[in-house]
Chains A and B, each alone.
Chain A
């Protein structure tokens, strides 16, 4: 549900002895403790996802009804063999969460990658060609923005059929307008600048102008929006999973895990608590990172 957008592209302010851009960026970024905490969590989640095969004590799919609904180890009846307990059909919750991290990150990255790719191209086209093309593209984006995001995603998945792939495509479409608007706004401010005119005069074609000259100068807001977009994607995909429209069981997707375990909420608190915590912490980390990136990259907020 992250729907913040950036308006203007970031342009580095010239100083007398400019420090290396990366160093300057890190200076601003590291001053924001929340953002650093977010980054640390994200690195941890990425490591967990990459090392899932090594870290997970059990298979995420192996069922064993003899150990169904074991509580976490600190509660009576729990064992360290299943540190966070087991689900209603005896699968180790910790292992499922670890493999779920892999899924959630893939969902986030895939969704945002598609949105950025398609969104940037549409935005660049709208910004460069103006006229009818622009009106058509922007009106379409306005319509998508008007509809409540999850409702649209739900309707698309309901029609295309439930499943992780369709859910990801639906979420990608829903967050698309942010990237289109960003790219278009950036193009419009950038094209009036001298370096674009210079490039045009020296005979650069439209494609070159779009991708080689203008695009690199609107990456900053896109990066910020990407970080916030990943959190939206993870959250919305989990919501679809929870409604039974996203990843299907026995997939260890966190939202799907919640849906599976929902009816056992009264008997076993751990089956719903941990998957949700995993979603909350990961989404929070990406939001913190996005906020930090915005503060570090947006010159308007710099002193």
Chain B
């Protein structure tokens, strides 16, 4: 097992180096001198430019420059935002909980609906319910979620006036950030009504972000269930006269869940992509919106550092899924 963990962990080193290389060369693809770009439109004094070139090591060969960049990244120094002058890492840390909160709610939403839908569709194969689930999930899979968000706003916020249009919390409340997760912070605060405000604000973004994972999970659960239900041990269980519920819930579901867990892990990357769009639509103050804002403000350090951090987060999640997969499925562990 230790060997398995070590090989998997060592495999991410080249990936990490690749991501840093991408982030490093990215900023160099921006037309113009990097320091002048960083200095912004006001321009910079030539003497100061030379000085800064030395400070940042731009007079060094490119490989040395990359080495300097890498060592700074490893020390957690990702530069400062050109707009706020705050370190990129601390801005990311402040905004990331909002994104995690949204993503967690979205994946829970997708699981709560997707697992039962997939299981029932598999049990009642070729029924109207099955065709319905498959049809709807294919539509969900093809959904332009940026449009889906606008349509839901149109329906629920404009037509029925049920949910707020944007933000995380009503402006009436001020909640001291403790964990950064508003669902927890509001409960800890002395204003418990704020909790409901936070829930209201979460509903639409959760649905929007959860739609694609929901579709994927429902389809995956169905096909995994169908495969398992055809196995011999299920026939044995049936022959033993076990109830249908027992067969499905105790015997089939366990094995069917293995591929589903992997798919959920792989959806994390998709989830962050979706979060960028969802946060933009609902003005959700998370890292996705922060990155898009950085693009339009030409805040290159934020773009560079933010993309690097998101890449590392997704990479780490994939690694964890890989390790978890090895834990539940010994066959994976022993193939090299």
**A residues whose Cβ falls under 8 Å from a Cβ of B:** 1-3, 34, 139-140, 142-143, 146-151, 154-155, 158-161, 231, 235, 238-239, 242-245, 255, 258, 262, 265-266, 269, 272-273, 275-276, 279-280, 283-284, 287-288, 291
Q: Across the interface, which residues of B come within 8 angstroms of A276, CB to CB?
A: 144, 147-148, 150-151
**Are the CB atoms of A148 and B144 closer together than 8 Å?**
no
Report Cα–Cα, A288/B280, bound state, in Å: 29
Question: Which single member of B15, B26, B292 contacts A142 (CB below 8 Å)?
Answer: B15
Given contact pairs A3-B266, A148-B273, A287-B141, a sample of 8 additional A-B residue pairs in the complex whose CB atoms are under 8 Å apart:
A34-B138, A147-B22, A148-B269, A235-B142, A258-B147, A276-B144, A276-B147, A280-B142
CB of B133 closer than 8 Å to a CB of A: no
A-B interface, 3 closest residue pairs, ranked by CB to CB distance from nearest: A276-B147, A143-B18, A150-B273
Binding site of B, secondary structure by majority: helix, strand, loop or mixed?
helix
CB of B30 closer than 8 Å to a CB of A: yes
**Are the CB atoms of A147 and B147 closer together than 8 Å?**
no
Question: Which single member of A149, A238, A262 contacts B144 (CB below 8 Å)?
Answer: A238
**Are the CB atoms of B29 and A150 closer together than 8 Å?**
no
Report Cα–Cα, A275/B150, bound state, in Å: 12
Given A143-B22, A158-B303, do A150 and B276 touch, yes or no (CB 8 Å)?
yes
**B residues whose Cβ falls under 8 Å from a Cβ of A:** 14-15, 18-19, 22, 26-27, 29-31, 135, 138-139, 141-144, 146-148, 150-151, 153-154, 158, 212, 266, 269-270, 272-273, 276-277, 280, 291-292, 295-296, 303, 307, 310-311, 314-315, 318
Report Cα–Cα, A217/B67, bound state, in Å: 45
Q: In chain B, what residue has the closest Cβ to A155? A: B307
Question: Which single member of B22, B151, B212, B310 contacts A1 (CB below 8 Å)?
Answer: B212
Report Cα–Cα, A154/B303, bound state, in Å: 10
**Are the CB atoms of B310 and A239 closer together than 8 Å?**
no
**Are the CB atoms of A265 and B154 closer together than 8 Å?**
yes
Q: In chain A, what residue has the closest Cβ to B215? A: A1
Question: Which single member of A142, A160, A243 contacts B277 (CB below 8 Å)?
Answer: A243
**Are the CB atoms of A265 and B153 closer together than 8 Å?**
yes
A sample of 27 inter-chain contacts (CB < 8 A) reads A3-B270, A139-B14, A139-B18, A142-B15, A146-B269, A146-B318, A147-B19, A147-B22, A147-B311, A148-B270, A148-B310, A149-B269, A150-B273, A150-B277, A151-B307, A151-B310, A159-B26, A242-B147, A243-B276, A258-B150, A266-B154, A269-B154, A272-B147, A276-B148, A280-B143, A284-B138, A287-B142
Q: Across the interface, which residues of A come within 8 angstroms of B292, CB to CB?
A: 154, 243
**Are the CB atoms of B295 and A231 closer together than 8 Å?**
no
Given A158-B303, A262-B150, do A151 and B141 touch, yes or no (CB 8 Å)?
no
Q: Across the interface, which residues of A come within 8 angstroms of B29, CB to CB?
A: 159-160
Given A154-B292, A265-B150, do A284 and B307 touch, yes or no (CB 8 Å)?
no
Q: In chain B, what residue has the closest Cβ to A143? A: B18
**Are the CB atoms of A143 and B19 closer together than 8 Å?**
yes
Question: Which single member of B151, B280, B291, B315 contacts A272 (CB below 8 Å)?
Answer: B151
User: Which residue among B144, B154, B212, B280 has the maximum number of chain A CB atoms within 10 Å of its CB?
Assistant: B144
Report Cα–Cα, A244/B280, bound state, in Å: 11
Given A139-B14, A146-B19, A146-B314, do A151 and B273 touch, yes or no (CB 8 Å)?
yes
Question: Which single member of A158, A235, A279 contacts B295 (CB below 8 Å)?
Answer: A158
Report Cα–Cα, A139/B277, bound state, in Å: 28
Report Cα–Cα, A143/B22, bound state, in Å: 10
